[in-house]
Structures are given as structure tokens and as C-alpha cells.
Amino acid sequence: MAQFAVIGLGRFGSAASLELMRMGHSVLGIDNDPKIVDKYADHLSRAVIADVTDSAAVQELGLDNYDVVLIAIGDDVQASLVSVVHLKAVGVTKIWVKAISHAQHLILHKLGVNRIIHPEEEMGVRVAQMLSYPMVNDYISLGNGEFVVEITASERLDEISLGEVLHQDNKTVEVLLIKRKTQILVRPTDDFILQAKDILVIFGPLQALRNIAPKLI
């Protein structure tokens, strides 16, 4: 279990905080709006009212003990940047920041922020990729054009062996596991008999995955 602090409990910060809680982590939520803090007080490990542009307030928060501090202040770029300076001053080393502009990105980069997030752009790219491959439920990009994708097997594949579906001259993709209801079946072999609605988690280069995907739907 890791300890996270999230500054700014707007839509982005609150969604990140609640998901971290669901994943079993400890989350300190911080916002300068008492109504917002009140709203999340019962759902987070701790929620406090503080204005992070105030260096004394930041010092009191003891944020250097946290694994990562996520700054999720939206439109107030100045407040977001000042809070980074205050966090650095109290010794916080892992800082992630939601950014809204190129100028803000440049300054955050100069300040040595570990991770700069552009939610709209990142989500836009993700949605475009999902739209082009509607059969793919979800994916992880591993870099170098290699991906892990999750595809649900269609009714057509019921009672058909994995080898028959994937049979190909060169083995460029690998089925890492199959999810069947609550079961996880690891590294299925070619004689594995599929059932409709099995969820296949497959690794491989993009082009090979593109060729395979239509065979599964």
C-alpha cells in the first residue's frame, strides 16, 4: 500500500483519489474549498482544507512522507506552479502535475517535475486508438510499437482451439492469459478450447495484433 497526496479535488483529482482508494492505497486529499473537502472527507483516508500557494500551509501538511504528490489544480496555472516550488522546498521528490498548457509544461519540466499529465490530449489519443480498433477493450503500450491488448472472443469462436484461430506461420503474437468469468488461465497452449466471451490478453507488435484482431471477432 502506497501513500498518496492529491492536491485539488476537482473532477480529475477526485477521480484519481477515489480510484487510488479502491486500489487499497492511502490518500490524503487537499483542497482550499471547504465544501469540496467536506464532500470527500468520508471517502478518503484524510481530507484537509489548505491553500497550497501558502508556504506555511504546505509545511504543515508534512507531504515529504508521501510516496507521490499529485497536483490536480485545474485552471489556476499560477497556483499549480507555486505549489510545486513549495513542495520542492519541503523536500517532496515525487511530484506529478496535471498541466493545461504548453507554457506550463515547459516550466514544470524546468522545475524537474517527475510526470506532467495532459489528460485531455492523452485521453484523446486513447479514444482515437480505441475507435480505430473497436474490438480492443483495452490496451497498454509497451513502447517500440509493442502492445498488450485485451480482446473478447466472439460467439463464432465457441469450441474452437486457440491454435486454429491464431494459426500463423510465424509466431509473432503471444496469448499471455485468458479471462473466463472469474478464472484466469495463464499461458494457454494451442490446444486450448475457447468459449464465447473469453477475454484474451495478447502481446505483440502492432501490425501482428492488427492481423489477429479480426480473427477473434
Q: Closest distance between ligand ADP and the C-beta of residue 11, in Å? A: 4
Site string for ligand ADP, 28-57 (x = CB under 6 A): --xxxx--x--------------xxx----
Q: Closest distance between ligand ADP and the C-beta of residue 5, in Å? A: 11
Contacts (CB under 6 A) with ligand ADP, residues 124-183: none
**How many residues sit in the footprint of ligand ADP (CB under 6 A)?**
21
C-alpha cell at 75: 485552471
Which of 28, 89, 79 lies closest to 52, judged by CA?
A: 79
Of residues 21, 48, 77, 79, which one binds ligand ADP by CB under 6 A? 79
Say if CB 21 and CB 40 are below 8 A apart: no
Of residues 75, 155, 169, 191, which one binds ligand ADP by CB under 6 A? 75
Q: Closest distance between ligand ADP and the C-beta of residue 191, in Å? A: 50
C-alpha cell at 22: 479502491
Q: Closest distance between ligand ADP and the C-beta of residue 30, in Å? A: 6
Sign of CA dihedral 151, 152, 156, 157: positive
C-alpha cell at 94: 515525487
For residues 86, 90, 95 and 101, what is the CA-based torsion angle, rounded to 10 degrees? 10
Q: What 8-state DSSP symbol labels residue 82?
A: H
The binding site for ligand ADP (CB under 6 A) comprises 7-13, 30-33, 36, 51-53, 72-76, 79
